Structure 1
Amino acid sequence: MNTVFAIVLAYLLGSIPSGVWIGKGFYKTDIREHGSGNMGTTNTFRVLGTKAGIIVLVMDILKGSLATLLPLWLNVPIHPLFTGVLAAVGHTLPIFANFRGGKAVATSAGIILAYNPLFFTLAITCFLIYLLLSSMVSFASIAACLSAVLISLFMGDFWLIVVTMALTTYIIIRHRENIQRIRQGTESLVPFGLNYKRKNKQ
């Protein structure tokens, strides 16, 4: 019974639409109707500002971390990465938001943070470097995920490799529209980084 409870709870945790609830509750704004139309962290920053963006970022990371820790807390024979992945699925297909979810980058980061902090640190470092170079959250997210796959190969953990590959594939699929805009040179830039400075000088 605890196993079923852990599985359901992991999905429900991931389904919490942080950006939608923060936007509607405190800003009277449905962020899915503005910006990119996504309910995730990046669009929250874009539409609602830094304070709301940070809150949603923390909430989305926590969803992944809490779900990953459920097997330990409930003492059930499930691999923690499995419940973590269920949270990522919940984030992209949330029952509380008509199955219109985000892209699972922050939630995936939360999974890795709870499971392997060193791996998380290496992956987030890659993300920050790519972000500073490209000034694009989407590009940095995809590139960091691909780097994480390579890093996972040296961690000596079979399931970490499998889940990292699965999450990376899922995240890339969720970013297919962003990839098209990156190719066209029309992807949105954050107001910092080398690419942003270069384009502003032109």
Structure 2
Amino acid sequence: MKKKILVKNMVCNRCITLLEQEFKKSGIVVESIVLGEIVYGEKDGVDQLFIEKMLRENGFELVKDAGEMLTEHIKIALIEAVDQLEASSEENLSSYLSKKLNKDYSVISKMFSKQEGVTIERYYIHLKIEKVKELIQLQHLNFSEIAYSLNYKSSSHLASQFKTITGMSMSDYKNLQQWGRKPLDQIV
């Protein structure tokens, strides 16, 4: 019999690889695994508490209610949008999320704010700033190209937002060489 669980803090392909390995090590057959969701074949002698413990030991949590589930789906959609630059400049964040999650934005927004204590927009800005830090660290793009690639209207808008969030200019951050990036599952 197949069982589906939703997992909190699964934010990248390394998370998927790690959990695949952990399930395999435990003798549990994974049918499918994507960000935030695992479908596996139930195994005799392996109960929900065992899986919860395995997840916790690796920095993940089992999602138990609908609000948490929706919040995790929102986070995953936002991380994908930043990583893949799916949210084009013609489409605003609210319509992107509504389409992606097939829900009215007001429902999405209220649930996210209730669960996380911060607005979707604020969370998205923090994600984008972490992406900016990554791009600065890689040194492949200049500040204007970074701003353009993340759909900012101008590099000065990005610079202002970066300074507001981090307390330093992008140039100061680049010169530090001590990157101080946050893991995506610890944003806000």
Greater helix proportion: 1
More strand by share: 2
Q: TM-score range by the shorter chain?
A: under 0.3
Q: Which is greater in Rg?
A: 2
Provide TM-score, normalisation by structure 2.
0.27
Q: Greater relative contact order: 1 or 2 (C-alpha under 8 angstroms, separation 6 or more)?
A: 1
Please give the TM-score of this superposition, normalised by the length of structure 1: 0.26
